[in-house]
Structure 1
């Protein structure tokens, strides 16, 4: 069906152009208007530099604030579709709650009515094409500037210019069209007219993907006398239903939360439309009363349509707000949260790809998910239960007691629970280069990818340890078992400390601790080397067993280094005021290298070979 849609649409337009050249002007007006909306959206994205996303994250503390944000943002952007997509993106990334997202959608429906007021009050009464041309001309100069803010202003200015120009051509097209064909001959009254024209309004919005464009088309046609006022009301109701298609399409690549929001949008707009259709007579009377009260001419049907559009959207919000307590549980029941699959990405989906803020935060959460999987595999690979280790008061004693081998195919578990996630993270970050992402955000995104790489390397190191851990720690075998128990204890201790770091408040996290741990790792590595040398000299450890253990200890200390480096990049905020102080006080790389090179060489063992 989809493959025939585009050719059919083009053929239909060409056929209409053949029968009436004036249709070309109307169609061109719609196209220019839609192009203007796209440029306006791009301009605000550049100009905002993430401002919209940042405000959205803070604007959902309460339902009234969420609704207010929906009204304000849609009024400024003149695109409820963009606000819906941003909201779905943030909801999918877990930055806002479902009830906050629903509140924004409610507000966006009210905010979209401002477009009708602007067109009816200004666009149809003033020669706005005269303003459009200078705006477009100036915008071209700004678009080619290097400064991001100037380019954003240029795109926004061009968007407004094309919006005005599109409205002008639609108006001119309908005025000329009126002299050839009188569309009012197709007017339908009564319930049939309401039903048919509501469907037409829905279909038009689905095709154009913009209720704003549909409303402009309705207003210009109404002003030119090509449709009746009654049918225009039905078209406006249908446009409100059709606008949900954008949210539905946007939710296809989202997680379950995004799909819940799209369903809420559909329910809200459908309920509002049904109420408007049932109460069409009292609503018309209310429009007449309000129009008389504010001084709108009785024959100014375009302005009266704007009043109607506002009334029924505000009425819809007023009716739906008391049902929020039931709507949210219904959405959660209708679209349940799927059982988490630890082997698949949870947060990386197409919906969060749209905006830099959600890109970064979703990736950060996915890296945390990867670390959770990796920590479990690392500890289980050492025959240690993660929950017991994190709850233990004496880690060394717990390690000495942990002799029972855990049923684990570490290679298979690595492929399923670590490599799959890491591949998703790498693929996700590779798409950043195709997007207009600020350098600082791109830098943090690539830093998260490096954190994931450190985590994966730590798991790979433990894979090398697994064989001899099973060999020497399931049954006590004297000094060799003690050496492997020490390695297990040190790795478990690092995992515990990183867990504490994750639970600490951001302002309480310090890079100094990580430097101390890194120095301690190097000291432990040197002590282990010296201890093994002493055991060889005493005859308590054979050179062959020593070589095997030193290879394994190399993997163990590499794993600890990778975990420490991952924790440093992930948890320590380098933009805080304390970061510079910590940088001065912390150990630098030269000091760490000095600590590493000061260790004595192992006597009687090859320490640079990693084969077991």
Structure 2
């Protein structure tokens, strides 16, 4: 709702500002051109680092310094901490990285945003940028129209840099013109309220521009032409840092609880860092003066001094917050809690949300995890209970034959109701997201097939539930029958499925599930081979008048159903447990 209202609000504010003072058009155009440049830079670098960046994200989970370094480097390159935040949230939501690593990447991204301030301070405000910005745009556009992905990427980077510097030049011109009419420096505020008011203005600027990097470029440009005072610019810089958390919060709205926890960590970091900077702003200002004096920067060179300040309080914030990460994670885990009711843990998806569709890896991983979750929870329960077997008994160590023989009680479950309550919604979501992923990504045929396999595996689950529903009536009728022969055959059918369920359960627990592949294949062959109609059991029972013709018909049909249930359960388990890593590895190679 907030995001929908923000865009028309910005449009109204811009129209109002241009109406009351047309001279502001150069500043507005400069901001727009700069934002266009940053978007093109982001798009250009993505052509080179999309695959490697995602691969690095997956590997930046074992050491905190790696996560921080990755966040710093990628943000400095892409000029967008928001992009890094969104990517990280997507990977975290899909379970590809841990919250600890995600927080490290966000910390590093905050340091990376300081690169924009230095880029503006060193190049944008010291050189007549229009002299080389326009040729960069011209050559960049030529490269953009090439077919090669790398040449296109280079063109976007070149044109993006051109637009970036041209936007700064427009803003400088606009502030110079505007200064002849109104000198904003006359509205400078000192003391406590000056800090509060200009920090709030910095938050608003970032909220409107949706980029702390763009906000810093605007602040530095205004400072360069004397439209704001140095002291007020410090508070604006702090506000811009706090304001950038809005993007992460908005990006997490469509994610699961993991994404919300990361957005919460981002908010805590920027808020605490901002408060520390405001509380110790005088001490930090003196430190900046000392550093400027040490490296030979003039006392009145406020552009460089603001860049130093921006870097210091971001780095200082990271150093202060690193020891607090375990406490932050505990707090976030308490605040953002996964609901443990059946409605939330089984019937509704946990891993599927819009953010996972940002990248092929996150989409495939989330779909596999959601399918496995459905398979292990609802399916295991419905199949075992549908045969009047307790799932905890199947998961245990007792011999399955004994379990089947002693399980004579009707568990009185309604398979149809369980299907609608625990299967239908999540099944439809899995099919929907798998289809969306196939339509969105351009992948090699074998990797597109992976999404189809997921859909087929989940269809197996649905068909298995329907088969259990049809089988249950005869199981209830014959498991306690006075006819010992038909009773034995139906216990044999229950035993077959319980064997499959136990082997699948053990496979799911094993860190090396591949070792169970042969056993599962053997069970699949055995299920077909031991069909009462195939192995001659049914013929013998009929010839010897051991069972009635009605019993024989039921047994013939149900033997086939049990073979089909076993086959579908095993095929689904093979995909979700044994083939999962190879599917993800193949996709990673394709993306890279």
Give the structure-1-normalised TM-score.
Answer: 0.88
Give runs of aligned pairs for residues 351-362 of structure 1, distance below 5 A.
Answer: 351-362=355-366
Alignment partner of 1:426 is 2:431: yes
How many Å apart are 1:142 and its aligned residue? 4.1
Distance of aligned partners of 1:279 and 1:260 in 2 relative to their CA distance in 1, 3 Å threshold = same
Q: Secondary structure at the match of 1:392?
A: coil
Contact 1:506 1:573 in 2 (8 A): no
Alignment partner of 1:477 is 2:483: yes
Give runs of aligned pairs for residues 451-470 of structure 1, distance below 5 A.
Answer: 451-470=457-476
Alignment partner of 1:525 is 2:526: no
Contact 1:240 1:273 in 2 (8 A): yes
Query: CA deviation digits over 1:133-164, x for unaligned, max 9?
Result: 34434444444444444444444444333323
How many Å apart are 1:467 and its aligned residue? 0.8
Match of residue 495 from structure 2: 489
Distance of aligned partners of 1:469 and 1:136 in 2 relative to their CA distance in 1, 3 Å threshold = farther
Distance of aligned partners of 1:155 and 1:386 in 2 relative to their CA distance in 1, 3 Å threshold = farther
Distance of aligned partners of 1:560 and 1:30 in 2 relative to their CA distance in 1, 3 Å threshold = same
Match of residue 227 from structure 2: 226
Match of residue 299 from structure 1: 300
Q: Secondary structure at the match of 2:423?
A: helix
Distance of aligned partners of 1:513 and 1:68 in 2 relative to their CA distance in 1, 3 Å threshold = same
**Cα distance in structure 2, aligned partners of 1:145 and 1:499:** 53
Match of residue 125 from structure 2: 124
Match of residue 568 from structure 1: 574
Aligned counterpart in structure 2 of residue 364 of structure 1, from 368, 371, 380: 368
Q: How many residues align?
A: 578
Match of residue 90 from structure 2: 89
How many Å apart are 1:529 and its aligned residue? 5.3
Query: CA deviation digits over 1:335-385, x for unaligned, max 9?
Result: 333225221111112332322221111111100011112122111111111
The 10-residue stretch of structure 1 (467-476 or 128-137) with the greater mean CA deviation from structure 2:
128-137
Contact 2:514 2:578 in 1 (8 A): no
**Cα distance in structure 1, aligned partners of 2:528 and 2:225:** 82
Query: CA deviation digits over 1:536-568, x for unaligned, max 9?
Result: 122112222211221222222111121222233
Match of residue 73 from structure 1: 74
How many Å apart are 1:417 and its aligned residue? 1.2
How many Å apart are 1:263 and its aligned residue? 2.0
Contact 2:198 2:236 in 1 (8 A): yes
The 10-residue stretch of structure 1 (489-498 or 373-382) with the greater mean CA deviation from structure 2:
489-498
Match of residue 173 from structure 1: 174
**Cα distance in structure 2, aligned partners of 1:153 and 1:30:** 23
Match of residue 348 from structure 1: 352
Contact 1:50 1:357 in 2 (8 A): no
Contact 1:356 1:437 in 2 (8 A): no
Match of residue 165 from structure 2: 164
Q: Secondary structure at the match of 1:180?
A: coil
The 10-residue stretch of structure 1 (484-493 or 517-526) with the greater mean CA deviation from structure 2:
517-526
**Cα distance in structure 2, aligned partners of 1:154 and 1:460:** 56
How many Å apart are 1:433 and its aligned residue? 4.3
Distance of aligned partners of 1:326 and 1:501 in 2 relative to their CA distance in 1, 3 Å threshold = closer
Query: CA deviation digits over 1:485-518, x for unaligned, max 9?
Result: 1111111112222223333345834755544333
Alignment partner of 1:58 is 2:63: no
How many Å apart are 1:425 and its aligned residue? 0.4
How many Å apart are 1:246 and its aligned residue? 0.9
Structure 2, unpaired ranges of 5+: 586-592
Distance of aligned partners of 1:529 and 1:153 in 2 relative to their CA distance in 1, 3 Å threshold = farther
Query: CA deviation digits over 1:562-609, x for unaligned, max 9?
Result: 1222233333449969x9xxxxxxxxxxxxxxxxxxxxxxxxxxxxxx
How many Å apart are 1:257 and its aligned residue? 2.3
The 10-residue stretch of structure 1 (408-417 or 256-265) with the greater mean CA deviation from structure 2:
256-265
Query: CA deviation digits over 1:247-298, x for unaligned, max 9?
Result: 1111211222222222222222122112211211111111111112112222
How many Å apart are 1:390 and its aligned residue? 2.3
Query: CA deviation digits over 1:440-485, x for unaligned, max 9?
Result: 5443233222211122212211111011111111445321111111
Distance of aligned partners of 1:559 and 1:152 in 2 relative to their CA distance in 1, 3 Å threshold = farther
Distance of aligned partners of 1:304 and 1:389 in 2 relative to their CA distance in 1, 3 Å threshold = same
Contact 1:343 1:417 in 2 (8 A): yes
Alignment partner of 1:546 is 2:547: no
**Cα distance in structure 2, aligned partners of 1:139 and 1:473:** 76
Distance of aligned partners of 1:162 and 1:549 in 2 relative to their CA distance in 1, 3 Å threshold = farther
Q: Secondary structure at the match of 2:347?
A: coil
Aligned counterpart in structure 2 of residue 390 of structure 1, from 378, 386, 395: 395
Structure 1, unpaired ranges of 5+: 580-612
Contact 2:527 2:562 in 1 (8 A): no
**Cα distance in structure 2, aligned partners of 1:181 and 1:504:** 72
Contact 1:31 1:166 in 2 (8 A): yes
How many Å apart are 1:532 and its aligned residue? 0.6
Match of residue 208 from structure 2: 207
Contact 1:202 1:242 in 2 (8 A): yes
How many Å apart are 1:315 and its aligned residue? 1.6
**Cα distance in structure 2, aligned partners of 1:474 and 1:161:** 82
Q: Secondary structure at the match of 1:50?
A: helix
Match of residue 405 from structure 1: 410
Aligned counterpart in structure 2 of residue 449 of structure 1, from 441, 451, 455: 455
**Cα distance in structure 2, aligned partners of 1:89 and 1:473:** 49
Contact 1:81 1:243 in 2 (8 A): yes
Contact 1:206 1:242 in 2 (8 A): yes
Q: Secondary structure at the match of 2:530?
A: helix
Contact 1:360 1:441 in 2 (8 A): no
**Cα distance in structure 2, aligned partners of 1:272 and 1:346:** 32
Distance of aligned partners of 1:473 and 1:7 in 2 relative to their CA distance in 1, 3 Å threshold = same
How many Å apart are 1:201 and its aligned residue? 0.4
Q: Secondary structure at the match of 1:453?
A: helix
**Cα distance in structure 2, aligned partners of 1:117 and 1:323:** 29
How many Å apart are 1:21 and its aligned residue? 3.7
Match of residue 274 from structure 1: 275
Contact 1:60 1:100 in 2 (8 A): yes
Contact 2:532 2:556 in 1 (8 A): no
Distance of aligned partners of 1:156 and 1:559 in 2 relative to their CA distance in 1, 3 Å threshold = farther
